[in-house]
Chains A and B, each alone.
Chain A
């Protein structure tokens, strides 16, 4: 049985959705409080959406110093699958586990709407079950989602196939329409859209399944 740890910071609010999605796909989910310093028992780690530590200072700025993040960094260095969704993506960039940064949306508007994503790379634990060029309908729900990086980083991202998802119609001013990026090895991924909220056509879209299926089957597929 695949075991996924879902990290809970004070202020996280998507941890139940993430856990439900994981369990819907046949894996088990376990919450990990941010003061924990051991995540080695898991097959994958999800940093869910929300407002960790109130998003004070900058989204993710304080969460990255939570004890659990050292354990997550160690887990990632060992090749473990790590997924940051929305606020979790912001935490991963602040922690330096993913390149770039998330800025306030262009137009300073909080955005809560469906978006169409294009799968740019299948070279990551999140997109490995998807097809390059595939479009997915997945909602966003954020104020600071404009992906930003310098020219050198952007060129590296492209050269290394680290841009995993782009928006079809850029809603927030992200550089290069970027919705999600991976680290060079592809085992750490962050995205602003919420695949855990696109698990059922009854709720508008089931397109998040192909992403999270890839993520929870990482260990099996990797062998």
Chain B
């Protein structure tokens, strides 16, 4: 089966996020008030051919940790996409 997967990569808690901080500082000037704790991250979409969704997720998790994220500063989570990737 072809399993559509989404991997989210976010900075580990406690790691400074200059991108998120810059976005947060810009928001009040645009009229968006009350927004805090902005963190920037990355999202990857791909399709994995595997026997089961569990096997597909295991492979996606492995490659997310090996390549898509730097475990020194980032966490990666993989999930099956609700709808196929376009």
Question: Judging by beta carbons under 8 Å apart, are B72 and A61 in contact?
Answer: no
B29: interface (CB < 8 Å): no
- A146 interface contact, C-beta 8 A: yes
- Say if the beta carbon of A54 comes within 8 Å of chain B: no
**B70 and A101 within 8 A (CB):** yes
Nearest-neighbour CB distance to chain A for B24, whole angstroms, equals: 13
**The residue from B16, B67, B68, B72 contacting A100, defined by CB atoms under 8 A apart:** B72
CB pair A57–B67 under 8 Å, yes or no, is: yes
B19: shortest Cβ distance to chain A, in Å?
6
- Number of A residues whose C-beta is below 8 Å from B? 20
The interface size bin for chain B is: 10 to 19
For residue A58, CB closer than 8 A to chain B, the reply is: yes
A103 lies within 8 A of B73 (CB): yes
**In the complex, chain A residues whose CB is within 8 Å of the CB of B67:** 57, 61, 65
Which stretch in A18-26, A41-49, A105-113, A204-212 binds the other chain?
Answer: A105-113
Report the bound CA distance from A58 to B67 in whole Å.
10
B14 to chain A, nearest CB (A): 8
Does B18 contact A148, Cβ atoms closer than 8 Å?
no
The residue in B14, B19, B70 that gathers the most chain A C-beta atoms within 10 A of its C-beta is B70
Distance between B27 CB and nearest chain A CB, rounded to angstroms: 15
One digit per residue, 1 when the CB lies within 8 angstroms of any chain B CB and 0 when it does not, for chain A 73-116 equals: 00000000000000000000110000111011111100000000
Q: Are A148 and B73 in contact (CB under 8 A)?
A: yes
Please tell me if the beta carbons of A103 and B16 are within 8 angstroms of each other in the complex. yes
Among B67, B68, B72, B73, max chain A CB count under 10 A is at B72
Rounded to whole Å, the gap between the CB of A86 and the closest CB of chain B is 17
Further pairs besides A57-B68, A103-B15: 16, Cβ < 8 Å: A61-B67, A61-B70, A93-B72, A101-B70, A101-B72, A103-B16, A103-B73, A104-B18, A107-B18, A107-B22, A108-B19, A108-B22, A148-B16, A148-B72, A148-B73, A173-B16
